[in-house]
Amino acid sequence: MTDCNSTPHARHGATASGALPGVLHAELIARPAMPRDETYLTTEQVAQRFPGLSIRTLENWRSAGAKRVGPPFIKVGSKCYYPLSHLLEWEAKNIRTVEIRPKTH
């Protein structure tokens, strides 16, 4: 039998009434909800989208913390998913152009 104090909210500091602490509660309210019709890609699907990008690289990017270089993701349990709309924004933000200058002799 599960004890009501073992709920995720209780582990993260919820009060006996179930209310979350102010800071955490404010963070949850401030976050925009993900659209229900959003398409989500798995780590494997994202790696397949970019030839030469390995699953391990995506895993490393996710664990980089504040130095995040990889695309935004959400975590559901032990699984990670990449919202397609955010992945497309990340792709656009990371486009690099190279200017080729003619050689001067």
Q: What is the pLDDT of residues 7-60, one digit of tens each?
A: 344 444 444 445 545 555 555 455 555 567 889 999 999 999 999 999 999 999
Whose tokens are 């695309």? That residue is 71
Tell me the one-letter amino acid at 47: A
pLDDT, tens digit, for every residue of 64-94?
Answer: 876 778 999 999 998 999 999 999 999 999 8
Domain boundaries, the chain: 1-31, 33-105
Tell me the one-letter amino acid at 81: Y
Helix (H) / strand (E) element for 74: namely strand 74-76
The pLDDT value given to residue 1: 39
